[in-house]
Amino acid sequence: MKKLAALLSLFLFCSTAFSGGTSPEPDSLRKDALNVFMDASDYIKKEIPYVNYVRDLKDAGVYIISTSQPTGSGGREYSYFFVGQHEYTGMNDTVSFASNPDATQEEIRENQVSVLKMGLMRYLVKTPLWKYIKISFTEQIAETVSTDKWNSWVFRARLNGFLDGQQSIKSANFRSNLSAGRVTENWKIDLRASYNYSHDKFEIDDDLIESSNNSKSFDALIVRSISDHWSYGGSFELEASSFNNLKVATEFMPGIEYDIFPYNESTRRQLRLLYSIGYRYSEYNDSTIYDKLAEGHFRHSFQAAYEVVQKWGTIDLNMEYSNYLHDWSMNNLSVDGFVNVRIFKGLSVNFGGGASLIHDQLGLVKGGATQEEVLLRRKELETQFQYFTSFGLTFTFGSIYNNVVNPRFGNRGGGGGMMIIF
């Protein structure tokens, strides 16, 4: 018995003495971790702690570009593009998932973490940390695929109300909309109906100023894919608006579109060219500056849109020209764009803007608008142009590592803020 106790004591001593060899120090693992560059939320950093989140692209073994776009079901498709560099050069990959239209933020960010983990595996397997990673499949899977009883149709209803007031100012807003959509690889159908109402009341000394605005609309878009580059379809619009002096207006615009880049690259880059031609008929609440209470005209439009997402940043440019065919001087030209560029380590710049040349305001009310309607923006005003611009600059310096999440005392100075990135 004494010999057995001695042997047991020796075994326990050896196990304790050499346990450090099987469980390396956390600091040692951190030095061997994969360097990753991406716009990661605090939640992602907390759920995927076994990589180093670096602040500059040049320090990363792999950088991840994230994009998202709406789906036909009303949800969003999130795509993550993995690009290897340095010792991982040539190791590129793409993972994605689509959220349900009723998904919560918690469900979305859980799925984001899951697909990011899967995308990182091929890189992590080349680091010493691979031996500490386990992969599991948590759900039962059927042998056959069930059919969709809705045939890819998704329906959505929204109702929003807003009240705001104080002693001398009161405001009320009401918005509602219905939508139905179906998106497949070959078809895109988008149907929308909406109603908006707003009312403002101001008491200034002994004066009372009240103003209301309402609008109703129905829009339909049907598109058929021909190939990876070509598609055709058309849009239909039915609307009424007190702001635009429209008792009722209807427009039908068939069109054809060509994308320079193939469909399978659409989440990374697009260069779409769209030509449409159709007919618009309008009836007005009040006589227009052209002494019209109703009129109908043919019109056409050309649109060009360029979007690209790269490691150096993003570009989103749009241009549209349209005119009425009965009078080509009745035209509209608009351009807008947004650019975000990483200049060098720690420095990025973003800027955007847009402008329009407007010569097609057929529905302007004869006699103009009252002072209250101008100040409250209740009537469309005559103008030959409009514009907007924005600019931003960000500079960051210091440690290349950005791993730690500390939510204490809120998010001042970084950390603590719970958010979902769209």
202 and 76 in a common domain: no
Per-residue model confidence (pLDDT) at position 405: 56
What does the pLDDT read at residue 246?
A: 93
Q: What is the DSSP letter of 130?
A: G
Shared-domain flag, residues 110 and 176: no
For residue 167, the domain's CATH number is 2.40.160
| Residue 157 burial (C-beta neighbours within 10 Å; 0-12, 13-18, 19+) | exposed
Q: Let me know if residue 17 belongs to a domain.
A: no
Assigned domain for 215 exists? yes
Q: Residue 400 falls within a domain, yes or no?
A: no
Residue 235 token pair: 């849009």
- What's the pLDDT at 139? 78
11 in any annotated domain:
no
Residues 97, 159, single domain; the answer is no
Q: Name the CA radius of gyration of the chain, rounded.
A: 29
Q: How far apart are the first and last CA of the chain?
A: 68
Number of domains, the chain = 2
Q: Do 99 and 170 sit in the same domain of this protein?
A: no
d(CA 272, CA 308): 12
Range of the domain at 285: 153-383
How many helices (H) and strands (E) would you count in the chain? Answer: 6, 17
Same domain assignment for residues 333 and 218: yes
Same domain, 215 and 120: no
Task: Answer yes or no: do 114 and 179 share one domain.
Answer: no
Q: How far apart are CA 85 and CA 123, in angstroms?
A: 11
Q: Which of 256, 328, 320, 257 is nearest to 299 (CA)?
A: 328
Residue 19's pLDDT is what?
43
Same domain, 121 and 158: no
pLDDT at position 32 is 83
Q: Are residues 114 and 250 in the same domain?
A: no
**Is there a single domain that holds both residue 372 and residue 258?**
yes
Do 167 and 31 fall within a single domain?
no
pLDDT in tens, the chain (422 residues): 555 455 445 444 444 444 444 556 666 677 888 999 988 888 888 888 889 888 888 889 999 988 888 877 677 888 899 999 999 998 998 898 888 877 878 888 889 999 999 999 989 988 888 888 888 777 776 654 466 778 878 899 999 999 999 988 899 999 999 999 988 878 899 999 999 999 888 888 778 888 888 999 999 999 999 998 999 999 999 999 998 899 999 999 999 999 999 887 877 789 999 999 999 999 999 999 899 999 999 999 999 999 987 778 889 999 999 999 999 999 999 999 999 888 877 788 989 999 999 999 988 888 777 766 666 666 777 888 999 999 998 887 776 666 555 566 655 544 444 544 44
Asked whether residue 406 is domain-assigned, the answer is no
Contact 293, 276 (CB under 8 A): no
- pLDDT in the model for residue 101: 78
Strand partners, 157: 178
pLDDT of 421: 43
200 domain residue, yes or no: yes
Helix, strand, coil abundance in the chain, percent, nearest 5? 15, 50, 30
Cβ neighbour number for residue 281 with a 10 Å cutoff:
13
CA 332 to chain CA centroid, nearest Å: 27
Indicate the pairing of strand 51-53 with strand 34-37: parallel
* pLDDT (0 to 100) of residue 282: 95
Does 283 reside within a domain? yes
Q: Please provide the DSSP assignment of 42-98 as one string.
A: HHHHHH--SEEEBSSGGG-SEEEEEEEEE-TTSSEEEEEEEEE-GGGTT-EEEEEEE
Tell me which of 366, 383, 400 is where a domain ends: 383
- Give the CATH number of the domain where residue 127 resides: 3.40.50
Structural domain includes residue 395: no
Length of the chain: 422
User: Residues 108, 168: one domain?
Assistant: no
